Structure 1
Protein backbone atom coordinates (compact mmCIF):
# COMPACT_ATOMS: atom_id res chain seq x y z
CA UNK A 1 0.00 0.00 0.00
CA UNK A 2 2.92 2.35 0.63
CA UNK A 3 4.01 2.07 -3.00
CA UNK A 4 0.44 2.63 -4.15
CA UNK A 5 0.29 5.80 -2.07
CA UNK A 6 3.46 7.02 -3.74
CA UNK A 7 1.78 6.80 -7.14
CA UNK A 8 -1.72 8.06 -6.39
CA UNK A 9 -1.45 10.13 -3.24
CA UNK A 10 -3.91 9.92 -0.35
CA UNK A 11 -6.84 9.04 -2.59
CA UNK A 12 -7.63 5.75 -4.23
CA UNK A 13 -7.68 7.19 -7.75
CA UNK A 14 -5.24 9.25 -9.79
CA UNK A 15 -5.95 12.98 -9.66
CA UNK A 16 -6.26 15.01 -12.86
CA UNK A 17 -6.02 18.70 -11.87
CA UNK A 18 -7.18 21.22 -14.45
CA UNK A 19 -4.44 23.18 -16.21
CA UNK A 20 -4.71 26.82 -17.28
CA UNK A 21 -3.42 28.50 -20.40
CA UNK A 22 -0.92 31.21 -19.59
CA UNK A 23 1.03 33.81 -21.55
CA UNK A 24 4.42 35.47 -21.46
CA UNK A 25 3.08 38.09 -19.03
CA UNK A 26 2.31 35.30 -16.54
CA UNK A 27 5.87 34.00 -16.78
CA UNK A 28 7.25 37.46 -16.10
CA UNK A 29 4.80 37.96 -13.24
CA UNK A 30 5.88 34.66 -11.67
CA UNK A 31 9.48 35.86 -11.79
CA UNK A 32 8.50 39.17 -10.18
CA UNK A 33 6.60 37.34 -7.45
CA UNK A 34 9.60 35.10 -6.85
CA UNK A 35 11.78 38.18 -6.44
CA UNK A 36 9.25 39.64 -4.00
CA UNK A 37 9.31 36.46 -1.90
CA UNK A 38 13.10 36.52 -1.87
CA UNK A 39 13.23 40.20 -1.03
CA UNK A 40 10.95 39.66 1.97
CA UNK A 41 13.86 38.16 3.92
CA UNK A 42 16.87 37.96 1.58
CA UNK A 43 19.54 37.43 4.22
CA UNK A 44 17.82 34.28 5.46
CA UNK A 45 17.43 32.90 1.98
CA UNK A 46 21.02 33.63 1.02
CA UNK A 47 22.16 31.82 4.16
CA UNK A 48 19.93 28.85 3.36
CA UNK A 49 20.93 28.65 -0.29
CA UNK A 50 24.68 29.02 0.20
CA UNK A 51 24.59 25.24 0.49
CA UNK A 52 24.02 24.95 -3.27
CA UNK A 53 27.12 26.91 -4.35
CA UNK A 54 29.09 24.96 -1.73
CA UNK A 55 27.87 21.65 -3.18
CA UNK A 56 28.74 22.93 -6.64
CA UNK A 57 32.26 23.84 -5.56
CA UNK A 58 32.68 20.38 -3.99
CA UNK A 59 31.70 18.80 -7.31
CA UNK A 60 34.14 21.02 -9.20
CA UNK A 61 36.93 20.22 -6.76
CA UNK A 62 36.24 16.51 -7.08
CA UNK A 63 36.33 16.72 -10.88
CA UNK A 64 39.54 18.77 -10.81
CA UNK A 65 41.42 16.48 -8.44
CA UNK A 66 39.84 13.16 -9.39
CA UNK A 67 41.11 12.84 -12.94
CA UNK A 68 37.73 13.92 -14.33
CA UNK A 69 38.29 17.42 -15.73
CA UNK A 70 36.15 16.51 -18.74
CA UNK A 71 33.13 16.25 -16.41
CA UNK A 72 33.32 19.75 -14.92
CA UNK A 73 30.91 21.29 -17.42
CA UNK A 74 28.50 18.30 -17.39
CA UNK A 75 28.46 18.40 -13.59
CA UNK A 76 27.70 22.13 -13.48
CA UNK A 77 25.06 21.84 -16.20
CA UNK A 78 23.65 18.64 -14.73
CA UNK A 79 23.42 20.19 -11.28
CA UNK A 80 20.65 22.36 -12.71
CA UNK A 81 18.69 19.21 -13.53
CA UNK A 82 18.35 18.63 -9.79
CA UNK A 83 17.18 22.20 -9.18
CA UNK A 84 13.45 21.42 -8.95
CA UNK A 85 14.14 19.03 -6.07
CA UNK A 86 16.82 21.16 -4.40
CA UNK A 87 14.43 24.13 -4.22
CA UNK A 88 11.66 22.26 -2.42
CA UNK A 89 12.23 24.11 0.85
CA UNK A 90 11.76 27.41 -0.97
CA UNK A 91 8.36 26.29 -2.26
CA UNK A 92 7.32 25.71 1.34
CA UNK A 93 8.41 29.23 2.30
CA UNK A 94 6.39 30.71 -0.58
CA UNK A 95 3.42 28.55 0.39
CA UNK A 96 3.54 29.85 3.94
CA UNK A 97 4.00 33.45 2.84
CA UNK A 98 0.99 33.13 0.54
CA UNK A 99 -1.10 32.00 3.51
CA UNK A 100 0.13 34.84 5.73
CA UNK A 101 2.04 32.49 8.04
CA UNK A 102 5.52 32.79 9.47
CA UNK A 103 7.85 32.33 6.48
CA UNK A 104 11.16 32.22 8.34
CA UNK A 105 13.85 30.15 6.64
CA UNK A 106 13.65 27.41 9.30
CA UNK A 107 10.27 26.40 7.90
CA UNK A 108 12.01 25.26 4.73
CA UNK A 109 12.69 22.04 6.62
CA UNK A 110 8.98 21.53 7.32
CA UNK A 111 8.73 19.68 4.01
CA UNK A 112 9.91 16.51 5.76
CA UNK A 113 6.55 16.49 7.57
CA UNK A 114 4.55 16.64 4.35
CA UNK A 115 2.19 13.69 3.84
CA UNK A 116 3.42 13.65 0.24
CA UNK A 117 7.06 13.05 1.19
CA UNK A 118 7.07 9.49 -0.29
CA UNK A 119 5.90 10.89 -3.63
CA UNK A 120 8.39 13.76 -3.39
CA UNK A 121 11.20 11.27 -2.84
CA UNK A 122 9.97 9.16 -5.76
CA UNK A 123 10.04 12.10 -8.19
CA UNK A 124 13.38 13.14 -6.70
CA UNK A 125 14.75 9.66 -7.41
CA UNK A 126 13.59 10.05 -11.01
CA UNK A 127 15.52 13.32 -11.27
CA UNK A 128 18.62 11.74 -9.76
CA UNK A 129 18.41 8.92 -12.30
CA UNK A 130 18.18 11.47 -15.13
CA UNK A 131 21.20 13.31 -13.69
CA UNK A 132 23.28 10.13 -13.54
CA UNK A 133 22.31 9.13 -17.08
CA UNK A 134 23.37 12.60 -18.24
CA UNK A 135 26.79 12.27 -16.57
CA UNK A 136 27.35 8.80 -18.06
CA UNK A 137 26.25 10.09 -21.46
CA UNK A 138 28.64 13.04 -21.25
CA UNK A 139 31.51 10.72 -20.32
CA UNK A 140 30.64 8.36 -23.18
CA UNK A 141 30.64 11.28 -25.64
CA UNK A 142 34.06 12.42 -24.40
CA UNK A 143 35.45 8.87 -24.66
CA UNK A 144 34.09 8.55 -28.20
CA UNK A 145 35.93 11.69 -29.30
CA UNK A 146 39.06 11.63 -27.14
CA UNK A 147 39.42 8.09 -25.86
CA UNK A 148 39.50 6.88 -22.23
CA UNK A 149 42.35 9.18 -21.10
CA UNK A 150 41.27 12.21 -19.08
CA UNK A 151 42.75 15.64 -19.90
CA UNK A 152 45.88 16.64 -17.96
CA UNK A 153 45.07 20.32 -17.38
CA UNK A 154 41.87 22.34 -17.38
CA UNK A 155 43.23 25.31 -19.37
CA UNK A 156 44.69 23.02 -22.02
CA UNK A 157 41.44 21.12 -22.28
CA UNK A 158 39.43 24.33 -22.69
CA UNK A 159 41.81 25.47 -25.44
CA UNK A 160 41.46 22.08 -27.13
CA UNK A 161 37.66 22.25 -27.01
CA UNK A 162 37.51 25.79 -28.40
CA UNK A 163 40.09 25.44 -31.19
CA UNK A 164 39.77 21.97 -32.66
CA UNK A 165 37.22 20.08 -34.71
CA UNK A 166 36.91 17.44 -32.01
CA UNK A 167 36.32 20.14 -29.44
CA UNK A 168 33.57 21.81 -31.45
CA UNK A 169 31.95 18.43 -32.01
CA UNK A 170 32.02 17.86 -28.25
CA UNK A 171 30.48 21.29 -27.64
CA UNK A 172 27.74 21.02 -30.26
CA UNK A 173 26.72 17.42 -29.66
CA UNK A 174 27.09 17.73 -25.90
CA UNK A 175 24.95 20.83 -25.69
CA UNK A 176 22.31 19.31 -27.97
CA UNK A 177 22.11 16.17 -25.84
CA UNK A 178 22.06 18.31 -22.70
CA UNK A 179 19.16 20.28 -24.16
CA UNK A 180 17.21 17.05 -24.59
CA UNK A 181 17.80 16.13 -20.95
CA UNK A 182 16.74 19.62 -19.86
CA UNK A 183 13.52 19.36 -21.87
CA UNK A 184 12.71 16.04 -20.22
CA UNK A 185 13.14 17.58 -16.77
CA UNK A 186 11.21 20.72 -17.72
CA UNK A 187 8.34 18.66 -19.14
CA UNK A 188 8.04 16.34 -16.16
CA UNK A 189 8.83 18.47 -13.10
CA UNK A 190 8.03 22.12 -13.91
CA UNK A 191 5.27 22.14 -11.28
CA UNK A 192 5.56 18.63 -9.80
CA UNK A 193 7.21 19.45 -6.47
CA UNK A 194 5.15 22.58 -5.61
CA UNK A 195 2.04 20.59 -6.46
CA UNK A 196 3.01 17.73 -4.15
CA UNK A 197 3.61 20.17 -1.30
CA UNK A 198 0.24 21.78 -1.92
CA UNK A 199 -1.78 18.57 -2.27
CA UNK A 200 -0.93 14.91 -1.84
CA UNK A 201 -1.87 13.72 -5.32
CA UNK A 202 0.93 11.21 -5.84
CA UNK A 203 4.02 11.11 -8.01
CA UNK A 204 2.25 10.01 -11.18
CA UNK A 205 -0.29 12.85 -11.08
CA UNK A 206 2.41 15.43 -10.31
CA UNK A 207 4.57 14.35 -13.26
CA UNK A 208 1.57 14.00 -15.58
CA UNK A 209 0.27 17.44 -14.63
CA UNK A 210 3.68 18.97 -15.37
CA UNK A 211 3.56 17.32 -18.80
CA UNK A 212 0.07 18.71 -19.43
CA UNK A 213 1.26 22.18 -18.37
CA UNK A 214 4.00 21.90 -20.99
CA UNK A 215 1.62 20.64 -23.70
CA UNK A 216 -0.95 23.34 -22.93
CA UNK A 217 1.60 26.17 -22.78
CA UNK A 218 4.59 25.11 -24.89
CA UNK A 219 5.94 28.55 -25.73
CA UNK A 220 5.55 30.14 -22.27
CA UNK A 221 7.07 27.09 -20.55
CA UNK A 222 9.96 27.00 -23.03
CA UNK A 223 10.50 30.70 -22.30
CA UNK A 224 10.45 29.84 -18.61
CA UNK A 225 13.07 27.16 -19.14
CA UNK A 226 15.23 29.56 -21.17
CA UNK A 227 15.03 32.22 -18.47
CA UNK A 228 15.90 29.69 -15.76
CA UNK A 229 18.89 28.45 -17.76
CA UNK A 230 20.13 31.99 -18.46
CA UNK A 231 19.84 33.04 -14.81
CA UNK A 232 21.61 29.90 -13.62
CA UNK A 233 24.47 30.61 -16.03
CA UNK A 234 24.71 34.13 -14.62
CA UNK A 235 24.74 32.68 -11.11
CA UNK A 236 27.59 30.30 -11.88
CA UNK A 237 29.94 32.89 -13.37
CA UNK A 238 31.32 34.26 -10.06
CA UNK A 239 32.51 30.83 -8.87
CA UNK A 240 28.90 29.68 -8.34
CA UNK A 241 28.41 32.21 -5.53
CA UNK A 242 25.70 34.00 -7.50
CA UNK A 243 23.53 30.91 -7.11
CA UNK A 244 22.95 31.95 -3.50
CA UNK A 245 20.75 34.74 -4.88
CA UNK A 246 19.57 33.34 -8.22
CA UNK A 247 18.53 29.95 -6.87
CA UNK A 248 16.06 31.15 -4.20
CA UNK A 249 14.47 33.63 -6.60
CA UNK A 250 13.89 30.85 -9.12
CA UNK A 251 12.61 28.54 -6.40
CA UNK A 252 10.01 31.04 -5.25
CA UNK A 253 9.09 31.89 -8.82
CA UNK A 254 8.43 28.21 -9.50
CA UNK A 255 5.80 28.20 -6.76
CA UNK A 256 4.03 31.10 -8.44
CA UNK A 257 4.30 29.38 -11.83
CA UNK A 258 2.49 26.42 -10.27
CA UNK A 259 -0.25 28.70 -8.96
CA UNK A 260 -0.72 30.25 -12.39
CA UNK A 261 -0.81 27.01 -14.35
CA UNK A 262 -2.71 24.54 -12.15
CA UNK A 263 -6.29 25.21 -11.07
CA UNK A 264 -6.85 24.76 -7.34
CA UNK A 265 -9.60 22.34 -6.26
CA UNK A 266 -12.86 23.97 -5.06
CA UNK A 267 -12.17 23.10 -1.45
CA UNK A 268 -8.48 22.55 -1.11
CA UNK A 269 -7.43 21.14 2.25
CA UNK A 270 -4.53 23.03 3.76
CA UNK A 271 -1.79 21.41 5.82
CA UNK A 272 -1.37 22.80 9.27
Structure 2
Protein backbone atom coordinates (compact mmCIF):
# COMPACT_ATOMS: atom_id res chain seq x y z
CA UNK A 1 0.00 0.00 0.00
CA UNK A 2 1.38 3.46 -0.86
CA UNK A 3 2.02 5.68 2.12
CA UNK A 4 0.99 9.32 2.41
CA UNK A 5 4.35 10.56 1.15
CA UNK A 6 4.12 8.40 -1.96
CA UNK A 7 0.51 9.40 -2.62
CA UNK A 8 1.45 13.07 -2.37
CA UNK A 9 4.32 12.54 -4.83
CA UNK A 10 1.96 10.76 -7.25
CA UNK A 11 -0.52 13.64 -7.10
CA UNK A 12 2.27 16.14 -7.67
CA UNK A 13 3.54 14.15 -10.63
CA UNK A 14 0.08 13.92 -12.21
CA UNK A 15 -0.17 17.72 -12.20
CA UNK A 16 2.35 17.62 -15.05
CA UNK A 17 0.76 16.54 -18.31
CA UNK A 18 2.55 14.75 -21.15
CA UNK A 19 2.71 15.80 -24.77
CA UNK A 20 2.40 13.16 -27.46
CA UNK A 21 5.47 12.92 -29.68
CA UNK A 22 6.37 10.86 -32.78
CA UNK A 23 8.85 8.00 -32.57
CA UNK A 24 11.65 9.88 -34.35
CA UNK A 25 11.39 13.07 -32.27
CA UNK A 26 14.74 12.31 -30.48
CA UNK A 27 16.52 13.25 -33.72
CA UNK A 28 15.08 16.72 -33.28
CA UNK A 29 16.36 16.84 -29.70
CA UNK A 30 19.86 16.22 -31.00
CA UNK A 31 19.46 19.03 -33.54
CA UNK A 32 18.29 21.51 -30.89
CA UNK A 33 20.98 20.36 -28.48
CA UNK A 34 23.63 20.99 -31.13
CA UNK A 35 22.19 24.46 -31.74
CA UNK A 36 22.46 25.29 -28.03
CA UNK A 37 26.05 24.09 -27.92
CA UNK A 38 26.95 26.26 -30.90
CA UNK A 39 25.21 29.32 -29.42
CA UNK A 40 26.95 28.97 -26.04
CA UNK A 41 29.95 26.66 -26.45
CA UNK A 42 32.17 27.58 -23.49
CA UNK A 43 30.20 26.00 -20.60
CA UNK A 44 29.55 22.86 -22.60
CA UNK A 45 33.08 22.38 -23.83
CA UNK A 46 34.48 22.93 -20.34
CA UNK A 47 32.06 20.29 -19.00
CA UNK A 48 33.06 17.95 -21.80
CA UNK A 49 36.75 18.57 -21.26
CA UNK A 50 36.43 17.82 -17.55
CA UNK A 51 34.56 14.57 -18.23
CA UNK A 52 37.01 13.52 -20.94
CA UNK A 53 39.92 14.21 -18.58
CA UNK A 54 38.23 12.17 -15.86
CA UNK A 55 37.65 9.32 -18.32
CA UNK A 56 41.28 9.46 -19.43
CA UNK A 57 42.48 9.39 -15.84
CA UNK A 58 40.17 6.48 -15.07
CA UNK A 59 41.48 4.55 -18.05
CA UNK A 60 45.10 5.24 -17.09
CA UNK A 61 44.63 4.18 -13.49
CA UNK A 62 42.79 0.96 -14.40
CA UNK A 63 44.47 0.12 -17.70
CA UNK A 64 45.72 -3.17 -16.26
CA UNK A 65 42.42 -4.02 -14.53
CA UNK A 66 39.94 -3.95 -17.38
CA UNK A 67 37.49 -6.12 -15.44
CA UNK A 68 36.96 -3.07 -13.23
CA UNK A 69 37.18 -0.50 -16.02
CA UNK A 70 34.38 -2.05 -18.10
CA UNK A 71 31.93 -1.64 -15.23
CA UNK A 72 33.21 1.82 -14.32
CA UNK A 73 32.62 3.24 -17.78
CA UNK A 74 29.14 1.78 -18.08
CA UNK A 75 28.39 2.97 -14.54
CA UNK A 76 29.46 6.44 -15.65
CA UNK A 77 26.41 6.53 -17.95
CA UNK A 78 24.14 6.14 -14.93
CA UNK A 79 25.37 9.31 -13.20
CA UNK A 80 25.78 11.44 -16.34
CA UNK A 81 22.41 13.25 -15.88
CA UNK A 82 23.64 14.80 -12.63
CA UNK A 83 26.86 16.02 -14.22
CA UNK A 84 24.87 17.87 -16.90
CA UNK A 85 22.83 20.01 -14.48
CA UNK A 86 24.61 23.26 -15.35
CA UNK A 87 24.05 22.73 -19.06
CA UNK A 88 20.32 22.26 -18.55
CA UNK A 89 20.34 25.74 -17.03
CA UNK A 90 22.20 27.11 -20.07
CA UNK A 91 19.62 25.60 -22.45
CA UNK A 92 16.79 27.01 -20.34
CA UNK A 93 18.33 30.47 -20.48
CA UNK A 94 18.73 30.26 -24.27
CA UNK A 95 15.12 29.11 -24.59
CA UNK A 96 13.93 32.11 -22.59
CA UNK A 97 16.12 34.57 -24.47
CA UNK A 98 18.13 35.29 -21.31
CA UNK A 99 21.93 35.70 -21.08
CA UNK A 100 23.61 32.28 -21.09
CA UNK A 101 27.23 31.85 -20.08
CA UNK A 102 29.49 29.93 -17.73
CA UNK A 103 28.03 31.73 -14.70
CA UNK A 104 24.59 30.41 -15.67
CA UNK A 105 25.89 26.85 -15.49
CA UNK A 106 27.67 27.42 -12.18
CA UNK A 107 24.59 28.95 -10.53
CA UNK A 108 22.63 25.77 -11.22
CA UNK A 109 24.74 24.00 -8.60
CA UNK A 110 23.06 25.60 -5.58
CA UNK A 111 24.50 24.09 -2.39
CA UNK A 112 21.20 24.76 -0.61
CA UNK A 113 19.19 22.63 -3.04
CA UNK A 114 19.23 19.29 -1.23
CA UNK A 115 17.06 17.67 -3.89
CA UNK A 116 19.98 17.67 -6.33
CA UNK A 117 22.29 16.21 -3.69
CA UNK A 118 19.81 13.46 -2.75
CA UNK A 119 19.17 12.46 -6.35
CA UNK A 120 22.86 12.63 -7.23
CA UNK A 121 23.71 10.33 -4.31
CA UNK A 122 21.03 7.86 -5.40
CA UNK A 123 22.43 7.74 -8.94
CA UNK A 124 25.98 7.42 -7.63
CA UNK A 125 24.86 4.52 -5.44
CA UNK A 126 23.29 2.82 -8.47
CA UNK A 127 26.46 3.36 -10.50
CA UNK A 128 28.65 1.97 -7.73
CA UNK A 129 26.39 -1.05 -7.41
CA UNK A 130 26.80 -1.83 -11.09
CA UNK A 131 30.58 -1.39 -10.98
CA UNK A 132 30.83 -3.90 -8.11
CA UNK A 133 28.38 -6.29 -9.74
CA UNK A 134 30.22 -6.15 -13.07
CA UNK A 135 33.61 -6.71 -11.45
CA UNK A 136 32.35 -9.61 -9.31
CA UNK A 137 30.71 -11.31 -12.28
CA UNK A 138 33.74 -11.07 -14.56
CA UNK A 139 36.38 -12.00 -12.01
CA UNK A 140 34.45 -14.92 -10.50
CA UNK A 141 33.36 -16.55 -13.77
CA UNK A 142 36.64 -16.50 -15.70
CA UNK A 143 39.60 -18.87 -15.55
CA UNK A 144 42.03 -16.14 -16.60
CA UNK A 145 42.79 -12.53 -15.75
CA UNK A 146 41.06 -9.65 -17.57
CA UNK A 147 43.73 -6.99 -17.38
CA UNK A 148 43.58 -5.48 -20.87
CA UNK A 149 40.86 -4.68 -23.43
CA UNK A 150 42.15 -7.59 -25.53
CA UNK A 151 41.62 -9.94 -22.56
CA UNK A 152 38.04 -8.73 -22.16
CA UNK A 153 37.31 -9.34 -25.85
CA UNK A 154 39.01 -12.77 -25.87
CA UNK A 155 37.73 -14.15 -22.56
CA UNK A 156 34.35 -12.44 -22.27
CA UNK A 157 33.05 -11.25 -25.64
CA UNK A 158 34.44 -14.10 -27.78
CA UNK A 159 34.29 -16.91 -25.21
CA UNK A 160 33.45 -20.18 -26.99
CA UNK A 161 31.59 -21.63 -24.01
CA UNK A 162 29.16 -20.19 -21.54
CA UNK A 163 27.09 -17.03 -21.78
CA UNK A 164 29.19 -14.66 -19.70
CA UNK A 165 29.06 -11.72 -22.10
CA UNK A 166 25.34 -12.16 -22.66
CA UNK A 167 24.80 -12.40 -18.91
CA UNK A 168 26.89 -9.27 -18.38
CA UNK A 169 24.82 -7.37 -20.95
CA UNK A 170 21.50 -8.57 -19.51
CA UNK A 171 22.49 -7.63 -15.96
CA UNK A 172 23.68 -4.23 -17.18
CA UNK A 173 20.40 -3.65 -19.00
CA UNK A 174 18.35 -4.75 -15.98
CA UNK A 175 20.19 -2.23 -13.80
CA UNK A 176 20.38 0.57 -16.38
CA UNK A 177 16.77 0.48 -17.58
CA UNK A 178 15.11 1.54 -14.29
CA UNK A 179 17.83 4.13 -13.66
CA UNK A 180 17.28 5.58 -17.13
CA UNK A 181 13.51 5.62 -16.61
CA UNK A 182 13.94 7.30 -13.22
CA UNK A 183 16.39 9.99 -14.31
CA UNK A 184 15.85 10.86 -17.97
CA UNK A 185 13.25 13.54 -17.11
CA UNK A 186 13.87 13.88 -13.38
CA UNK A 187 17.19 15.72 -13.34
CA UNK A 188 16.25 18.57 -15.72
CA UNK A 189 12.89 18.75 -13.95
CA UNK A 190 14.52 19.14 -10.54
CA UNK A 191 16.71 21.91 -11.92
CA UNK A 192 13.74 23.63 -13.58
CA UNK A 193 10.98 23.37 -10.96
CA UNK A 194 10.42 23.19 -7.22
CA UNK A 195 9.20 19.62 -7.31
CA UNK A 196 10.00 16.76 -4.97
CA UNK A 197 12.53 14.10 -5.92
CA UNK A 198 9.97 11.28 -5.86
CA UNK A 199 7.47 13.30 -7.91
CA UNK A 200 10.17 14.01 -10.49
CA UNK A 201 11.04 10.30 -10.65
CA UNK A 202 7.35 9.36 -11.10
CA UNK A 203 7.06 11.93 -13.90
CA UNK A 204 10.14 10.50 -15.58
CA UNK A 205 8.67 7.00 -15.43
CA UNK A 206 5.39 8.26 -16.90
CA UNK A 207 7.27 9.83 -19.81
CA UNK A 208 9.03 6.55 -20.56
CA UNK A 209 5.96 4.34 -20.14
CA UNK A 210 3.74 6.58 -22.28
CA UNK A 211 6.33 6.97 -25.05
CA UNK A 212 8.16 3.62 -25.29
CA UNK A 213 9.31 3.94 -28.92
CA UNK A 214 10.85 7.45 -28.83
CA UNK A 215 12.36 6.87 -25.39
CA UNK A 216 13.91 3.57 -26.50
CA UNK A 217 15.41 5.39 -29.48
CA UNK A 218 16.65 8.12 -27.15
CA UNK A 219 18.33 5.56 -24.89
CA UNK A 220 20.06 3.98 -27.90
CA UNK A 221 21.27 7.38 -29.11
CA UNK A 222 22.62 8.26 -25.67
CA UNK A 223 24.52 4.97 -25.40
CA UNK A 224 25.73 4.95 -28.99
CA UNK A 225 27.06 8.50 -29.06
CA UNK A 226 28.67 8.13 -25.64
CA UNK A 227 30.36 4.90 -26.75
CA UNK A 228 31.59 6.71 -29.86
CA UNK A 229 33.02 9.48 -27.70
CA UNK A 230 34.83 6.93 -25.53
CA UNK A 231 36.14 5.08 -28.59
CA UNK A 232 38.01 8.20 -29.71
CA UNK A 233 40.37 7.95 -26.70
CA UNK A 234 37.86 10.06 -24.73
CA UNK A 235 38.44 13.11 -26.96
CA UNK A 236 35.00 12.80 -28.51
CA UNK A 237 33.42 13.24 -25.09
CA UNK A 238 34.48 16.89 -25.12
CA UNK A 239 31.72 17.51 -27.68
CA UNK A 240 29.42 14.52 -27.23
CA UNK A 241 28.65 14.99 -23.53
CA UNK A 242 27.55 18.66 -23.68
CA UNK A 243 25.67 17.95 -26.92
CA UNK A 244 23.67 15.19 -25.23
CA UNK A 245 23.14 17.30 -22.12
CA UNK A 246 21.59 20.16 -24.10
CA UNK A 247 19.51 17.66 -26.09
CA UNK A 248 18.28 16.10 -22.84
CA UNK A 249 16.90 19.46 -21.78
CA UNK A 250 14.87 19.63 -24.98
CA UNK A 251 13.64 16.08 -24.40
CA UNK A 252 12.26 17.18 -21.03
CA UNK A 253 10.71 20.38 -22.42
CA UNK A 254 9.17 18.50 -25.33
CA UNK A 255 7.47 15.92 -23.15
CA UNK A 256 6.56 17.48 -19.79
CA UNK A 257 3.88 20.18 -19.64
CA UNK A 258 3.63 22.92 -17.06
CA UNK A 259 0.76 22.29 -14.60
CA UNK A 260 -2.40 23.69 -16.18
CA UNK A 261 -0.81 24.03 -19.62
CA UNK A 262 -3.10 23.15 -22.51
CA UNK A 263 -2.17 21.45 -25.79
Please, which of 138, 150, 153 is the counterpart of residue 142 of structure 1?
Answer: 138
User: Cα distance, 1:74 vs. partner?
Assistant: 1.4
Name the structure 2 match of 1:77.
74
> Aligned partners of 2:147, 2:207: CA distance in 1, in Å?
45
After superposition, what is the alpha-carbon deviation per residue over 1:103-135, rounded to whole angstroms, capped at 9, x for unaligned? 1123211112387x2111111111111101101
Would you say 1:24 and 2:44 are equivalent positions? no
> Aligned partners of 2:91, 2:145: CA distance in 1, in Å?
44
> Aligned partners of 1:170, 1:106: CA distance in 2, in Å?
47
Count residues with an aligned counterpart. 255
User: Cα distance, 1:39 vs. partner?
Assistant: 1.1
Q: 2:229 touches 2:236 (CA, 8 Å); kept in 1?
A: yes
After superposition, what is the alpha-carbon deviation per residue over 1:27-60, rounded to whole angstroms, capped at 9, x for unaligned? 2221111111011133542133200011112222
After superposition, what is the alpha-carbon deviation per residue over 1:131-182, rounded to whole angstroms, capped at 9, x for unaligned? 01101111221133126x754555344433344335x733211112112222
> Aligned partners of 2:217, 2:71: CA distance in 1, in Å?
22
Name the structure 1 match of 2:51.
52
Would you say 1:195 and 2:192 are equivalent positions? no
Q: 2:67 touches 2:147 (CA, 8 Å); kept in 1?
A: no
- TM-score of the aligned structures, taking structure 1 as reference length: 0.85
The runs of 5 or more residues in structure 1 that have no matched partner are 268-272
Name the structure 1 match of 2:129.
133
Call closer, same or farther: CA 1:196–1:156 in 2, change over 3 Å. closer
Call closer, same or farther: CA 1:8–1:45 in 2, change over 3 Å. farther
**SS at structure 1 position matched to 2:108:** helix
Please, which of 180, 186, 205 is the counterpart of residue 180 of structure 2?
Answer: 186
Deviates more, 1:13-22 or 1:79-88: 13-22
Q: 1:20 touches 1:262 (CA, 8 Å); kept in 2?
A: yes
RMSD: 2.5
Name the structure 1 match of 2:160.
165
Q: 2:88 touches 2:245 (CA, 8 Å); kept in 1?
A: yes
After superposition, what is the alpha-carbon deviation per residue over 1:45-97, rounded to whole angstroms, capped at 9, x for unaligned? 213320001111222222225xx321121111111111111111110100111
> Aligned partners of 2:77, 2:45: CA distance in 1, in Å?
18
The runs of 5 or more residues in structure 2 that have no matched partner are none
- TM-score of the aligned structures, taking structure 2 as reference length: 0.88
Deviates more, 1:101-110 or 1:157-166: 157-166
After superposition, what is the alpha-carbon deviation per residue over 1:199-219, rounded to whole angstroms, capped at 9, x for unaligned? 111101110000000111011
> Aligned partners of 1:131, 1:249: CA distance in 2, in Å?
22
